[in-house]
Structure 1
Amino acid sequence: MFRYSYGEFYHTFRAFNGILGSGGYANDGAANTFGWGHSPYGDFYSKLRSVKAMSDVYAKLSEADKTEYQIFMWTGNVIKDYIFYHLTDDCGDVPYTDAMQAQQGNFFPKFDKQKDIYHAILADLKDVSGKLKGFTLGTSAIQKQFLINDVWFAGDVAKWRSFTNSLRLRLAMRISVIEPDLAKTTIQEVLADGVYATNRATSVTLVDREQDRAFEYLLNRSLQESRGNLWMPENMAKVMRKAGQPDDPRIKVLFQPDKDGNYSFMPTEANDVSVIRPNITSTDLSKTYPSIYNRSTFEMNVGMMALIITSSEIHLIKAEAGLRWPELGIDVANEYKLAIQESIDIYYEENALNTNKTYAGYIPASMPAKPDQATIDLFLAAKVAEFTIAGADEKKGLVFDQKYIHFNMLKPYELWADTRRLTKELGARVKKSPSNIKLMERTVYPNTEELNNNTNFQAVKAQNNYTTPNWWTGR
């Protein structure tokens, strides 16, 4: 549910590397053609089967047992909401109300509007958060089982509430352009509640439990086989190394030095790539040119955390919310500062999780010591000063830049969503891709949908392409 498999990430990264400018796409100048080897549509529905099966069993219980098992269903619904928002973000209108109803004899589900799906998800997350508030596990055998069977948070209800409310903040910002009133109300409710990812302890991360198979079917294998797309991208280098400011401390744990000991980037445009093409090399992974993503932090790190929802992302959401709605009383500059600080912290933590210093191509510079806080504070002061004097739209652009760094290649779905959402307002300011790469707005439905569910499919056939914007973009 929460980490990428080998195949999913391999195909996702290849599709989005150029589109998002989050990986060093070696631009050859050819116009891109849309495509995605991974099918999120079928993948996400397969993940929903467990939740649906649990719901079917629950419906047959006695009323007394339903009360005992309700915590299983509340938290199961959060997982369902998590999967469905990803699904509709990728595909637009999808079966929701009638989905997974084969056991009830409905083999031809209608496609719900994305707007209706989002409204339902936000309402459900709010409902679950309210039910979990003040809930305490009882001493019955059933509720004791929740402590064992909850493989996500080990029965910690407070963590479930933090996860649920953090999702509400993420999705509220997603609709900030198209439905600002609902977005604002949702954010106000969560901030008043006060339970969400506010720091490292309440951030939601995941370390895989089958690390011995990392190079067989996990993200690490994808990274190994994607090295040709793992150069340091020029646009990220420009954000992290600005004239008159200290270098971003994260540069040393997101990337590693090239053959000359420098942090060099893959140019964005084809003509610039052509100039350096004779010098591009990854034959010796300890002496590449340009710099590549830090192999100790990512590829060779079998203990690498999946950053599901971190406090850094939430601080950036709050900063943008404060810019959009000053009446919320959010200290925008401070939220921006906290986001950067906590992103620095978690990426140095990520890098330090790697205990392997003997892999082929290892260089000591890929595992740098974290700068002292005084050095970090100088960097933060420069970022806050830049942010403070920026205009309103540029402040939003600077917030986006921090998401671009924080999400980098690890969270392409969230970076893709923010890029699409902000294009209406900020245009080229959020475009990090080369000029020959167009923004993919959504993916297409599997051919089987038109074949097997033709009557209902007619309602979405016109949007079955890569270029029709999602509802929440407002475009």
Structure 2
Amino acid sequence: MILNKIKTTAICATLLAAVSCTSDFNEINTNPTGITAQELEQDFNHVKVPFSTVFTGIFNTTHWKYQLQQNLNADIWSGYMATPTPFKGAAGDNSNYNYVDGWNGFIWSLPYTDVMANSLKIEQRTKGKYDQFYAVSLILKVEGMHRVTDVFGPIVYSEFGTTNTTIPYDSQEAVYTKMFSELDFAVAELTKRVDAGEKSTFGSIDMSGYAGDYKQWVKYANSLRLRLAMRVVKIKPALAKTEAEKAVNHKFGVMTTNADIAKVIIPNYIDPILTISSAWGDIRMSADMESIMNGYTDPRLAKYFKESADFAGQYRGVRTGINMIAKSDRTGMSEIGSIVGSNEKVLMTTAEVFFLRAEGALRGWNMGGTAQGLYEVGITISFGQHGASGAASYITDNVKMARDFVDVKDAANNAAAVNKVTIAWDGAASNEVALQKIITQKWIANFPEGQEAWSEYRRTGYPKLFRALHNTSGGKITTEFGPRRINFVQSEKDGNPGGVATGVAKLGGPDNGGTRLWWDTTAGNF
């Protein structure tokens, strides 16, 4: 980690400043060429820079920023990765549930600066005049900001952009309600344009690989709706069913092939995870990944990770929440593999969509297929995405399960396997076992997108993960359930204290990492 980068500049300290605080501030707010606003609009140059910043801001492309935005929290708490680095020594850090506020502030500030501020600029420049652009911006905003509410709970959303001294927070329920409404507008607007045979004007701006194809954007929006619908299934089951069926049964439907995968393509891009793992040595394969993927003899393993430098021919992980002594002890474990070697960052996979549909079918919803059929297609399409062979035999394996974890450096960290389910579908199994299979395979398929994996782990409890051995949260977070959220950030407490107070009031518990979000209930999965 580049520690001297971790600071908050005065201009970006609060949400009041975020509206004008973007990485392209000077480019947007000055006009050295003397081109008029009308001339800029002729080629839609007035929205190209804001769109570019939104695209690259969902996952921040600056490596140290991404490390703080997601890698040292969700990527670890999801069970995907672990750090071999004892950043804070015996006191522990995020990996030991002793939150580092100086790190976690970026999880809030970066999306507001990059996604929300630039989405607002796009809205101001396009709404009612170029609604096709406004519609796409809403899809991207929902993608970027549902991640924020799924970290903090109540957030500034409907009131963002106001200049009031106090900016109130929306409850998470209100945020989700507005996001469903925003997706309604985006889908209706773009569908109307496809039906009219309108030629897309978004191609020169589009960084998704969709080449401005409005139909593809509708399928992505529907798929995103399906994700959000499933998130609220335990707190709002009727709403979840309605929104999920609306997504799947729309005339253009959801993502169904790997050509539909939602991603951001960035020229000359190096994935931050590759740098964090291979160049900095700050992240490695997790013990959970070692246990589950090695146990299944999963053919995707070689795509996801490199062989251990210390143990040739083996894939070895690090257990999260252990007592770290020296970084050199475990940097010889498996680095992240070729999956992070391209110039693309995946926002949502088609495999995830099939697993969401499989869970919906398990719950009796109209998902256009059976739970077993959708589950098996989800696995198959994930294999295809990664160029892995052997999906047919993998799907029918009813023997292999996760294996025990052995820490070759310290036997005190050893653990018996906890996620004990086989791969093959079992029609006689309980709904709970079926759900564990679905979520486990979705967890594997979604790698390395730790934010979504952490959210689904909190919602369902699956896959079962090894517990932290050294919990240094001071009792704020339980070892049994792990981190449920991140506390509101210091910049907001300093710059918007009244707003933070509204957020705490809507949180339903103390402002710490142990308080569950609105959709993260203690109720059973069924």
TM-score, with normalisation over the residues of structure 1? 0.77
Deviation at 1:179, TM superposition (A): 0.7
Q: 2:179 aligns with which of 121, 131, 144?
A: 121
Q: Is residue 126–residue 133 contact of structure 2 (8 Å, CA) maintained in 1?
A: no
Q: What does the per-residue CA deviation read over 1:210-234, in whole Å, with 9 as the maximum and x for residues that have no partner?
A: 23xx38xx44322334534313x33
Distance 1:265 1:222 in 2: 18
Tell me the residue number matched to 2:283. 229
One-letter amino acid of the structure 2 residue matched with residue 265 of structure 1: R
Q: What does the per-residue CA deviation read over 1:331-360, in whole Å, with 9 as the maximum and x for residues that have no partner?
A: 111211111112122223xxxxxxxxxxxx
- In structure 2, the CA distance between the partners of 1:394 and 1:268, relative to structure 1 (3 Å rule), is farther
Deviation at 1:444, TM superposition (A): 2.2
Tell me the residue number matched to 1:100. 161
Q: Is residue 277–residue 335 contact of structure 2 (8 Å, CA) maintained in 1?
A: no
Q: State the SS of the aligned residue for 2:347.
A: strand
Distance 2:424 2:152 in 1: 40
- Root mean square deviation of aligned Cα: 3.2
Deviation at 1:325, TM superposition (A): 2.4
Q: State the SS of the aligned residue for 1:430.
A: coil
- In structure 2, the CA distance between the partners of 1:450 and 1:145, relative to structure 1 (3 Å rule), is same
Tell me the residue number matched to 1:451. 494
Distance 1:32 1:415 in 2: 18
Tell me the residue number matched to 1:177. 234
2:254 counterpart of 1:239: no
Deviation at 1:178, TM superposition (A): 0.8
- In structure 2, the CA distance between the partners of 1:448 and 1:292, relative to structure 1 (3 Å rule), is closer
Aligned ranges 1:324-403 → 2 under 5 Å: 324-325=363-364, 330-348=369-387, 370-371=388-389, 375-382=390-397, 385-403=424-442
Aligned ranges 1:37-436 → 2 under 5 Å: 37-38=103-104, 39-47=106-114, 48-58=116-126, 66-67=128-129, 69-102=130-163, 106-136=164-194, 145-152=201-208, 153-193=210-250, 194-211=252-269, 214=270, 218-231=272-285, 233-242=286-295, 247-258=297-308, 259-266=310-317, 268=319, 282=331, 288=332, 290-294=333-337, 296-298=338-340, 301=341, 303-325=342-364, 330-348=369-387, 370-371=388-389, 375-382=390-397, 385-408=424-447, 410-423=448-461, 430-436=464-470
Tell me the residue number matched to 1:468. 515
Distance 2:195 2:203 in 1: 9
Which is worse superposed, 131-140 or 394-403? 131-140
Q: What does the per-residue CA deviation read over 1:13-41, in whole Å, with 9 as the maximum and x for residues that have no partner?
A: 23345433212455999754123614221
One-letter amino acid of the structure 2 residue matched with residue 208 of structure 1: I
Q: What does the per-residue CA deviation read over 1:396-418, in whole Å, with 9 as the maximum and x for residues that have no partner?
A: 1112211222233x211101111
Q: Is residue 24–residue 265 contact of structure 1 (8 Å, CA) maintained in 2?
A: no
One-letter amino acid of the structure 2 residue matched with residue 431 of structure 1: L
Q: Is residue 162–residue 195 contact of structure 1 (8 Å, CA) maintained in 2?
A: yes
Distance 1:148 1:271 in 2: 48
Q: Is residue 278–residue 335 contact of structure 2 (8 Å, CA) maintained in 1?
A: no
Q: What does the per-residue CA deviation read over 1:422-467, in whole Å, with 9 as the maximum and x for residues that have no partner?
A: 13xx6xx533443445422222222232333333332234643222
- In structure 2, the CA distance between the partners of 1:226 and 1:318, relative to structure 1 (3 Å rule), is farther
Q: What does the per-residue CA deviation read over 1:252-295, in whole Å, with 9 as the maximum and x for residues that have no partner?
A: 21123335543243364889999xx999564xxxxx4x44332x
In the comparison of the two structures, how many residue pairs are matched? 414
Distance 2:136 2:72 in 1: 33
Q: Is residue 400–residue 430 contact of structure 1 (8 Å, CA) maintained in 2?
A: no
Q: Is residue 241–residue 365 contact of structure 2 (8 Å, CA) maintained in 1?
A: no
Distance 1:100 1:459 in 2: 17
One-letter amino acid of the structure 2 residue matched with residue 378 of structure 1: S
Distance 2:284 2:226 in 1: 31
Q: Is residue 287–residue 318 contact of structure 2 (8 Å, CA) maintained in 1?
A: yes
Deviation at 1:162, TM superposition (A): 1.2
Q: State the SS of the aligned residue for 2:234.
A: coil
One-letter amino acid of the structure 1 residue matched with residue 518 of structure 2: W
Q: State the SS of the aligned residue for 2:386.
A: helix
Tell me the residue number matched to 2:77. 19
Instruction: Name structure 2 gaps, 5 residues minimum.
Output: 1-56, 399-422, 472-478
Q: What does the per-residue CA deviation read over 1:306-329, in whole Å, with 9 as the maximum and x for residues that have no partner?
A: 221111000111111112226656
Q: Is residue 25–residue 266 contact of structure 1 (8 Å, CA) maintained in 2?
A: no
Q: Is residue 27–residue 268 contact of structure 1 (8 Å, CA) maintained in 2?
A: no
Distance 1:339 1:268 in 2: 28
Distance 1:188 1:440 in 2: 31
Percent of pairs with identical residues: 18
